[in-house]
Structure 1
Amino acid sequence: MKNPIIYALDFDGVICDSAIETGISGWKAATQIWPDMPVDAPTEMVELFRQARPIIETGYEAILAMRSLYLGATVDSLYQGCAEQFQALMQEAQVDSAQLKKLFGDTRDLWIAADKAGWIGQNPLYAGVVEKLARLNQHSDWYVVTTKQERFVRMILSGAGIELADERIFGLDRNLSKIEVLKILQDRHPEQALHFYEDRLPTLLKVAQQAELANVELLFAAWGYNGAAEQAEAVAAGFKLVQLGEFLV
Structure 2
Amino acid sequence: MRVAATACPSDVFVLDFDGVVVDSEVEVSTSALGACAGYWPQLFGEGQLAERLRQRVRADLRATRPRLINGWEALVMARLVLEDQGSVARILADWEPLLETTLAAWGEGDGGGLSAAFEAHRAAQLAADADSFVALNPLYPGVADALQESPYPYYIASSKAAGRLVTLLCASLGLDIDTASPRLFAGLIPPNERKIAALRAIAARQVAAGGATLHFVDDRFETMHAIAEQAPDLLERWQLYLADWGYNTPEERAAAAALPGVRLLSRPQFLELLKWGVVMEVDDGCEPTQEEAEAAANAS
**Fold match, TM over 0.5?**
yes
The aligned counterpart of 1:104 is 118
The aligned counterpart of 2:164 is 152
Closer/same/farther in 2, CA of residues 173 and 13 from structure 1, 3 Å limit = closer
The aligned counterpart of 2:279 is none
Unmatched runs of 5 consecutive residues or more in structure 1: none
Matched, 1:223 2:245: yes
How far the C-alpha of 1:60 sits from its partner, in A, is 2.1
Contact in 1 for aligned 2:157/2:188 (Cα 8 Å): no
Unmatched runs of 5 consecutive residues or more in structure 2: 1-6, 273-300
Question: Structure 1 vs Structure 2: percent identity of aligned residues?
Answer: 27
The aligned counterpart of 2:148 is 134
Contact in 1 for aligned 2:220/2:242 (Cα 8 Å): yes
Q: Structure 1: which amino acid aligns with 2:201?
A: I
Give the greater-gyration-radius structure (CA).
2
**Matched pairs, number:** 247
Q: Which runs of 4+ in 1 moved over 6 A?
A: 173-176
Secondary structure at the residue paired with 2:129? Answer: helix
The aligned counterpart of 2:95 is 82
- Deviation larger for 173-182 or 87-96: 173-182
- Deviation larger for 237-246 or 65-74: 65-74
Which whole-Å CA distance do the structure 2 matches of 1:40 and 1:4 have between them?
54
The aligned counterpart of 2:199 is 182
Closer/same/farther in 2, CA of residues 102 and 2 from structure 1, 3 Å limit = farther
1:168 aligned residue (168, 183, 189) = 183
Which whole-Å CA distance do the structure 2 matches of 1:169 and 1:69 have between them?
34
Q: Deviations over 1:60-116 (max 9, x none)?
A: 221221121122143222111222221123222324255544433322111111221
Which whole-Å CA distance do the structure 1 matches of 2:21 and 2:155 have between them?
11
Q: Structure 1: which amino acid aligns with 2:270?
A: F
Contact in 1 for aligned 2:21/2:143 (Cα 8 Å): yes
Secondary structure at the residue paired with 1:37? Answer: helix
Matches within 5 A, 1:110-125: 110-125=124-139
Secondary structure at the residue paired with 1:144? Answer: strand
Matched, 1:5 2:11: yes
Q: Deviations over 1:163-190 (max 9, x none)?
A: 0533212111788711111111111134
Contact in 2 for aligned 1:33/1:93 (Cα 8 Å): no
Matched, 1:213 2:234: yes
TM-score (normalizing by structure 1): 0.89
